[in-house]
Amino acid sequence: MKNHLTILSILCSFVFISPKLQAASLTDTSVLTLESRGYMRLNEVNMQAARHFKKKFSQADDEKWTKLNTGYLATYFEHSVATLVYYDTRGKFLYGVKHFNETTVPADLRQMIRRQFEGYTIIGMNEIITEDNSYYLPYIERYRLQKRLGIDDQGMIELDN
C-alpha cells in the first residue's frame, strides 16, 4: 500500500494547489482558467474523452475543457470542490484530482483523521481518482508541523516519516 500511495503522492505533487491558496480561491473559478488559454467547445474535444467524462463524472453539469500539449483537461466545481480530470491525446482517461479545503473534506474522512491525529488541523486534501479506485492525500498541521497522509481502502499511513 505504501508504494501505491508514494507513487500517487508524487503524481499529486504535479497538480497540487497549495491548501492555503486553495482555501483562499476556491470560490473564485479563475483558479481553473489555466492562464486564460480559453475553453474548447464539447464538439472540439476527443469523443472518447467526452463520453468517458459524461459517464464517470455524471454529476458535473458545467465542465470546462482545455487542450493541453499532452491531451485534454476537464475542470468543474461541485459544492466548492475543484475537480480536474486528465485525458491523453487519444482520449484515454489518465486520472482525476479533487481539491478539498478543510471545510469540504468528507465527514467520515475528517473523523478518521482527527481520531488518529488528535490536535491536528486538516489544511487540505486531494483525492486521486483512477479508473478503479480513489486515493486520498490529506495535509494536516499542528504547531506549524505539517504532515502528508495517504488513505485508501486498506487504511491510512503517514507519508512523511
Q: What is the pLDDT of residue 37?
A: 56
For residue 140, the model assigns a pLDDT of: 95
Q: Contact at 8 Å (CB) between 66 and 75?
A: yes
d(CA 49, CA 22): 27
Q: Dig out the grid coordinates for 39 from the structure.
A: 475553453
Question: What pLDDT is stored for residue 59 in this prediction?
Answer: 92
Q: What is the CATH number of domain 2-158?
A: 3.10.450
> What are the φ/ψ torsions at residue 41 (nearest 5 degrees)?
-80, 155
Question: Are the C-beta atoms of residues 139 and 123 closer than 8 Å to each other?
Answer: yes
Q: Which residues pair with 133 in a beta bridge?
A: none
Q: What is the mean pLDDT of each run of 10 residues along the chain (161 residues)?
A: 48 44 37 57 92 95 92 93 96 96 93 94 95 95 93 88 61
Domain limits, the chain = 2-158
Rounded Cα–Cα distance for residues 120 and 82 (Å): 24
Backbone angles phi, psi at 23, to 5 degrees: -65, -35
**CA 93/CA 102 separation, integer angstroms:** 28
